[in-house]
Structure 1
């Protein structure tokens, strides 16, 4: 299990490379949900999501031989962007493998860094190709099955614990589980009374199904929220979530998209549906906890275009 010492060490290592993002009380979201809400604005992070933290932690831990060979990552969007940008900054050659369903903006951002981009027909194929490239000598920077990377993501929780006021419940989006594992480990150490809730979208339910089955297993992917679409979680992230997280809630794609629109309207932030899914889940947590709830939302990323979000809004309806 990752401990607070690991997370603090990661924080010291990456401090000169990433942004300490704002942790702010949100009057708009507090009025919307009827209880105090604090937002950790990780969408203001370098590369537009929390992923820069873990990618930087892993890149700085490479041996000279690994740096020389180059790195490879598989991603639905944000992990690939983060690795490509931070590898370029640290002068490490990177290859990023993405499914063709990845957001067009994500593909453009990766290509702009000079990284090698490989596109596949789906996420399962992307993971398979990444495995072959690793076998050929590239160093894998896994999006969530890596203790050093997860400790880097845990710095989100470290900052939240240090910067937020009173909290009873914190909600974190779940793809492969790297972010929530790190955040839960940090809060368990520093705010032991705070409950941590995971949020997935329907069709991207790798963690909730793993918890129901008693361990990681492959899942079919159909969510439009590709940045949460992991084909399975890892034993590392499963162990942390099963031990430290109260529950993983699942919301429909339509509610995640509406949540992004509500974040824009009420919190004045432009967030992707991977963060928008927190709002419908927060309503459920607020109902279960009651008026004494003090909610924290980790707004994980903002890498979505106006065209993407408006297209989803038209498809699912704004209300």
Structure 2
């Protein structure tokens, strides 16, 4: 299990390389949900998502030989962007493997940062190619199955604990589970009374599938939210979530897109559906916990184009 000492050490390493993003009370979201809401704005992080934290922590942990050989990552979008940009900043050669379903912008940003981008037909193929590249000598920077990466993501929880007021419930999106594992570890140590809730979208249910099965299992992926689309959780993230997280809620893609529109309208932030899914989940949390709730939302990323949002809005009849 990742401990608070690991997370504090990661915070010291990555300081100066990443942004301490704002943790702010949101009058708009508070009015919308009817309870006090605080938002952790990780969409203002370098590369547009929290992923820069874990990628930087891992890159800074490499030996000189590993740095010289280069690194590889598999990504549905944000992890690849983060690794490409932060590797360039730290003078490490990076290869990013993405499924063709990854957002075109993610591919463009990773390539413009100097990474070698390899595209595969699906996420399973991306993981398989990454395995072959590791065998050729590249060091894996896994998006979630790595204690160094999880500790880096846990610095989000460290900052929430320090910067937010009294919270009763914190909601965190889940792909493979690295972010929520780190955040839950930090909050359990520093704010032990706070409940942590995970949120997935239908068709990207790696963690809820693992919880139902008693351990990580492969899941079929069909969600439009590619940045949450891990083909399976890891044993490491599963153990953290099963021990530290109150429950994992699953919301439809349509509601995740609606949540992004609501974040733009009421919070004045441009968030991807991987963060938009927090709002429908927050309503369900409030039904469970009743009056007196004070919510924290980790707005994990904003790497979505206007074209994507227009297409999804039309697809789901939300205009």
Corresponding position of 2:190? 190
- List per-residue Cα deviations over 1:241-294 (Å, max 9, x = no partner): 000000000000000000000000000000000000000000000111112110
Q: What CA distance in whole angstroms lies between the structure 1 residues aligned with 2:311 and 2:95?
A: 30
Once residues 64 and 179 of structure 1 are traced to their aligned partners in structure 2, the CA distance between those partners, rounded to angstroms, is: 27
SS for the counterpart of 2:185 is helix
Q: Secondary structure at the match of 1:165?
A: coil
Distance in 1 between residues matched to 2:200 and 2:156, nearest whole Å: 19
How far apart are residue 176 of structure 1 and its match? 0.2
- 2:293 is equivalent to residue 296 of structure 1: no
> Structure 1 residue 99: deviation in Å?
0.5
1:181 Cα shift?
0.1
Aligned ranges 1:39-118 → 2 under 5 Å: 39-118=39-118
Tell me what 1:245 maps to. 245
Superposed displacement of residue 157, structure 1: 0.1
Is 1:231 the counterpart of 2:231? The answer is yes
Note the residue ranges of structure 2 that are not aligned, 5 or more in a row. none
Count of aligned residue pairs for this structure pair: 319
Could you list the per-position Cα deviations for residues 77-118 of structure 1 after superposition, in whole angstroms to 9, with x for gaps in the alignment?
000000000000000000000011101111110010111000
Task: Say which SS state the counterpart of residue 315 (structure 2) adopts.
Answer: helix
The residue number in structure 2 matching 1:136 is: 136
| CA distance, structure 2, for counterparts of residue 297 and residue 232 of structure 1 | 24
SS of 2:199's partner is strand
**Residue-by-residue CA offset, 1:218-249 (whole Å, 9 max, x unaligned):** 00000000000000010000000000000000
Which portions of structure 1, spanning 4 or more consecutive aligned residues, are displaced by more than 3 angstroms? none
2:24 aligned residue: 24
Two-structure CA RMSD over aligned residues (Å) = 0.6
Shift, 1:317, TM fit: 1.7
Please give the secondary structure, in 2, of the residue aligned with 1:154: helix
